[in-house]
């Protein structure tokens, strides 16, 4: 198999590209699109986002210590891209993209109502890394759109049309090819009675 070896660079794909909403007191809320975002701890639930100092949002995050991560769907992709190429210094991104502020329960910054999942976050630590500062945050609360709850109370996130970002391009998630632990799961009818581990890493 022929391979090419490249100098160091970011090639961990696909990743979520999320719309991060934030707001300084008395100002209009802003949205920054962030691809360098991730889950970093299950308990307490913690996430990270990495943001350049040059971003208008950087100062809002530093000042307020909070933000909302809004997951991106196929319908929201154009808005996510726009929020990633225009600055809140120059435009009102909620207004330009016809997005609706969703009041948060635990923090002052609003989420985006059109997103199926809004994750309210409180910043615990800011770690300068180089080009980006990493904002390490604890999840303060999560809002989900109830049209994706089925009759058994299961959240059907796969129905939301979530989008992934890979090497400069946006993709809607496609066909399901497995589920957590399926590689070792016993065939139906031969259950061991053991409690299934949660798919939380
Ligand atoms: C798909 C995508 C992913 C991005 N990921 C990041 C990121 O992880 N961190 C960052 O600082 N900027 C990222 N950006 C760039 C910012 O979203 C962009 O500079 C934005 O205009 C900043 O808005 P603001 O000045 O209103 O904060 C990304 C842009 C796009 C389109």
Q: Which residue has the higher pLDDT, 189 or 173?
A: 173
Residue 46 and residue 38: Cα distance in Å, rounded? 9
Q: Which residues make Cβ contacts (< 8 Å) with residue 186, sequence separation at least 6?
A: 192
Report percent pLDDT > 70 for the chain.
95
Please, which pLDDT band fits residue 188 given cuts at 50, 70 and 90? confident
149 has a pLDDT exceeding 90: yes
Residue nearest to atom 16 of ligand 1 (CA): 84
24 has a pLDDT exceeding 80: yes
Residue 50 and residue 48: Cα distance in Å, rounded? 7
Section 122-143 average pLDDT: 98
pLDDT in tens, 166-175: 999 999 999 9
Give, as one character, the DSSP assignment of residue 162: B
156 has a pLDDT exceeding 80: yes
Residue nearest to atom 5 of ligand 1 (CA): 34
Section 25-43 average pLDDT: 98
Report the pLDDT value the prediction gives residue 91, as an integer from 0 to 100: 98
Question: What CATH architecture does domain 15-172 belong to?
Answer: Roll (2.30)
195 has a pLDDT exceeding 80: no
62 pocket-lining for ligand 1 (C-beta < 6 Å): no
Cα 118 to Cα 5, 62, 109, 110, 152, distances in angstroms: 39, 20, 11, 9, 22
21 pocket-lining for ligand 1 (C-beta < 6 Å): no
Over the chain, what is the mean pLDDT? 95
51 pocket-lining for ligand 1 (C-beta < 6 Å): yes
Tokens representing 164 are 């992934």
Please, which pLDDT band fits residue 198 given cuts at 50, 70 and 90? low
Report the pLDDT value the prediction gives residue 187, as an integer from 0 to 100: 78
Residue nearest to atom 13 of ligand 1 (CA): 34
Report the pLDDT value the prediction gives residue 191, as an integer from 0 to 100: 53
Cα 120 to Cα 25, 94, 129, 162, 190, distances in angstroms: 17, 18, 24, 19, 41
């Amino acid at each position: 198999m022929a391979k090419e070896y490249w100098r160091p660079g970011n090639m961990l794909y696909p990743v979520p590209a999320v719309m991060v909403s934030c707001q300084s007191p008395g100002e209009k809320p802003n949205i920054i699109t962030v691809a360098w975002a991730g889950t970093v701890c299950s308990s307490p639930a913690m996430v990270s986002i990495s943001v350049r100092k040059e971003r208008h949002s950087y100062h809002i995050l530093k000042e307020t210590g909070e933000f909302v991560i809004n997951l991106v769907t196929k319908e929201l992709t154009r808005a996510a891209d726009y929020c990633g190429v225009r600055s809140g210094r120059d435009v009102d991104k909620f207004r330009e993209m016809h997005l609706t502020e969703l009041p948060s329960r635990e923090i002052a910054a609003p989420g985006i109502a059109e997103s199926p999942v809004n994750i309210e976050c409180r910043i615990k630590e800011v770690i300068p890394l180089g080009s980006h500062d990493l904002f390490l945050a604890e999840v303060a609360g999560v809002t989900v759109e109830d049209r994706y709850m089925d009759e058994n109370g299961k959240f059907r996130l796969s129905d939301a049309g979530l989008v992934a970002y890979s090497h400069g391009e946006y993709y809607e998630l496609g066909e399901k090819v497995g589920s957590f632990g399926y590689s070792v799961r016993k065939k139906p009818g031969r259950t061991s009675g053991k409690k299934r581990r949660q798919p939380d890493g």
